[in-house]
Amino acid sequence: MNIFILEDDLMQQQRLEQLIKEILSEYKWFPRLISTTAQPQRLLKKAEKAQGKSIYFLDIEIKNEKKNGLEVAQDIRKFDPYGMIVFVTTHFEFAPHTYKYKVSALDFINKENDEIVIKSQVTECMALLFNPGNQLVSDEAFIFENKHSHFQIPFSNILYFETSSISHKIRLIGKTKIIEFYATLDEIEQLDSRFFKCHRSFVINLSNVESINRSENIVAFENNHTCLISRRKVKKAIYLIDGS
The secondary structure of 155-221 as a DSSP string is GGGEEEEEE-SSTTEEEEEESS-EEEEE--HHHHHTT-TTEEEEETTEEEEGGG--EEETTTTEEE-
Q: What is the DSSP string of 30-99?
A: --SEEEEES-HHHHHHHHHH--S-EEEEE-S--TT-SS-HHHHHHHHHHH-TT-EEEEEES-GGGTTHHH
The rounded Cα 145 to chain-centroid distance in angstroms is 22
Q: Do residues 235 and 196 lie in contact, with contact meaning Cβ atoms separated by under 8 Å? A: no
Q: Which CATH architecture has domain 2-130?
A: 3-Layer(aba) Sandwich (3.40)
Residue 137 pLDDT grade (very low, low, confident, very high; cuts 50, 70, 90): very low
Convert the pLDDT of each residue in 144-165 to its tens digit. Answer: 877 777 777 888 889 999 999 8
Q: Given a cut of 70, is residue 239 above it in pLDDT?
A: yes
Which residues make beta-bridge pairs with 65?
A: none
Region 66-94: mean pLDDT is 82
What residues does CATH 2.40.50.1020 cover in the chain? 141-242
Is the dihedral angle over the CA atoms 186, 190, 192, 197 positive or is it negative?
positive
Average pLDDT of the chain is: 85
Q: Give the pLDDT confidence of 151-204 residue by residue, as tens digits.
A: 778 888 899 999 998 888 999 999 888 899 999 999 999 888 899 999 999 999
Distances (CA, A) of 35 to 7, 72, 74, 108, 156: 11, 15, 19, 20, 29
Superfamily designation of domain 141-242: LytTr DNA-binding domain (2.40.50.1020)
Residues of the chain with CATH 3.40.50.2300: 2-130
d(CA 11, CA 18): 11
Contact at 8 Å (CB) between 93 and 121? no
Q: Give Cβ neighbours of residue 91 (< 8 Å, ≥ 6 apart).
A: 60, 61
Give the pLDDT score at 96: 55
Cα–Cα distance, 18 to 38 (Å, whole number)? 16
The phi-psi region of residue 82 (left if phi > 0; otherwise alpha if psi is between -120 and 50; otherwise beta) is alpha
Q: State the DSSP code for 144.
A: E
Highest mean pLDDT of the ranges 55-69, 109-123, 126-140: 109-123
Residue type, position 52, single letter: G
CB-CB neighbours of 26 under 10 Å: 12
Separation between Cα atoms, residue 94 and residue 19, nearest integer Å: 24
Residue 218 has pLDDT above 80, yes or no: yes
